[in-house]
Amino acid sequence: MTAMSSSRRDEHASPVRPDPTAAATAHEMAATASEPEHQLVWTDPVTGARGFLVIDTLVGGLATGGTRMRAGCTLSEVADLARGMATKTAAFGLPVGGAKGGVDFDPRDPRATEVLERFFGAMRPWLDHHWVTAEDLGVSQSALDEVFARLGLEQSFHAAIRRSPNPTATLRRVHAGLATRVPGGQLLGDVIGGYGVARACLAAAHALGWEPAATSVAVQGVGTMGGATAWYLHEAGVRVVALADVAGTLYRSGGLDVPALLALRDRYGEIDRTRVPDDVERRPREAVLSTEADILVPAAVSYAVDADTVGDVTALVVVEAANSATTPEAEAVLTARGVPVVPDFVANAGAAAWAWWLLQGHVGTEPEDSFRRLRTEMETKVAALLVEWRTTRVPPRRTARLLAERNLRALAGAEIVIP
């Protein structure tokens, strides 16, 4: 640990008395969660794989949420994620409810695309009328586009676009937005979520009085979310000291050369170890959680920080890029230790918010317009959460949830306008 982070750790043991109800917050929220509006369980007739669709809330008859594929995916995981999506769209004031799809199958299996096609085929009525989906863990946007094309669906925004008075023009506009590339050549839609997480980290650092150059971050996962998060943090001058993928953790105390390491990834977000420079230390996979960094960004699997692993976490702030990255039990422990958790439904909402802004014509093909809008919204929200945390020790999740509830009430009965 550097001298700076030692003193930062001392300062962090703030004199503000913890909110006595804080530790119960996450449990409380899980316990009071209402039943989803719809949930469907599907069994693949060929492989026996199970798939799930959970529509947590419909706003104006629409719900949005990505589709994940991983061996071991469960209905309760998908329901949890759908609830998170509903809170996410509400936190950003988007006029759409929350949903999630999931398939219990290994995305590396050569039959994965066929399984996905059969799953979406079975979910067709929902895709036609109510559910707007997107990529998620184990399902890339290109795999999704391929499957949708095979099913004769134009793309995964179908249910919303068909409500436009001129669907052809809307489709053309949305396609142009989705095809927008950022300097470096990546699709804006692939990096905007990670950009939002990076801005959430920078806003948290700012709220705590840390300069970017004096802030260190450890990122678990270097796929779509983790990769872009690390990229934009590095670009902002933050020291990214650890990056983990499924094969292990890469560590360098002075900061990793993020662009060079990301260039070594395969399509599953795994870094080619044969080409990693010698000055980068190789550590076990779970070591990313105990890396001494100011901010920990879990950006890989759900429940990465749980009752078993929370004791390993040494970061002063956790910013959730992965959905449900922290279990309620673990969050209660972190809260009691004075470590704020910026919740997934705020920190990783960038991609969902951007897709909706694109559909509604609020952003177009100029990447800076999208970056500016997200930066402003994210920084305002995270600053408010952290101010509340610093002054009253109310956990950011609770403050953010109150914001989402307020927005949802304001959205009740709102007309969804897709130009």
**Site residues, ligand NAD (CB under 6 A):** 135-138, 193, 220-226, 244-246, 269-270, 285, 299-302, 321-323, 348, 351
CA distance linking residue 224 with residue 198, whole number of Å: 13
Amino acid at the residue 106: D
d(CA 94, CA 100): 16
Q: Which is nearer to ligand NAD, 155 or 302 (CB)?
A: 302
Distance CA 419, CA 407 (A): 22
Instruction: Report residue 10: phi and psi, to 5°.
Output: -65, -45
How does 320-348 read in b/e, with b if 16+ C-beta sit within 10 Å? bbbbbbbbbbbbbbbbeeebbbbbbbbbb
What burial letters (b/e) apply to 183-210, b meaning 16+ CB within 10 Å? eeebebbbbbbbbbbbbbbbbbbbbbeb
What is the token pair recorded at 376?
């402003």
- Closer CB to ligand NAD, residue 144 or residue 202? 144
Three-state SS at 200? helix
Task: Name the phi and psi angles at 101, rounded to 5.
Answer: -115, 150
- Residues 26 and 340 sit within 8 Å (Cβ to Cβ): no
Spell out where 237-304 has E strands: 239-245, 248-251, 281-283, 295-298
User: How far apart are CB 116 and ligand NAD at their closest, in Å?
Assistant: 14
- Residue with Cβ nearer ligand NAD (58 or 246): 246
Give the C-alpha separation, 92 to 78, whole Å: 21
Q: Which is nearer to ligand NAD, 321 or 334 (CB)?
A: 321
Exposure on the CB side of residue 417, measured as CA atoms within 13 A: 4
Smallest separation (angstroms) from ligand NAD to the CB of 378: 13
Least separation in angstroms between CB 15 and ligand NAD: 35
Contact present, 283 and 303 (Cβ < 8 Å): no
Q: Shortest distance, CB of residue 198 to ligand NAD, whole angstroms?
A: 13
Query: What residue type is 156 in one-letter code?
Result: S
Indicate the residue type of 267: R
Q: Cβ closer to ligand NAD: 284 or 311?
A: 284
Our CB check for ligand NAD shows the closer of 95 and 102 to be 102
The residue whose Cβ lies closest to ligand NAD is: 223
Between CA 356 and CA 135 the distance in angstroms is 15
- The nearest distance, CB 100 to ligand NAD, in angstroms, is 9
- The single-letter code of the amino acid at 117 is E
User: What tokens were used for 46?
Assistant: 């060929």
In whole angstroms, how close is the CB of 87 to ligand NAD at the nearest point?
13
Query: Closest distance between ligand NAD and the C-beta of residue 112, in Å?
Result: 12
Task: Choose between 88 and 398: whose C-beta lies nearer to ligand NAD.
Answer: 88
Q: Which is nearer to ligand NAD, 94 or 299 (CB)?
A: 299
| Closest separation in Å from C-beta 57 to ligand NAD | 18
Q: Which residues contact 376 (CB under 8 A, 6 or more apart)?
A: none
Residue 133 Cβ vs ligand NAD, minimum distance, rounded to whole Å: 11
Q: Which is nearer to ligand NAD, 24 or 246 (CB)?
A: 246
Distance, CA of 153 to CA of 364 (rounded, Å): 23
Give yes or no for a contact between 65 and 31, defined as CB atoms under 8 angstroms apart: no
Residue among 314 and 392 whose Cβ is closer to ligand NAD: 314
CA-wise closest residue to 129 among 55, 65, 62: 62
Min separation Cβ 289 and ligand NAD, Å: 9
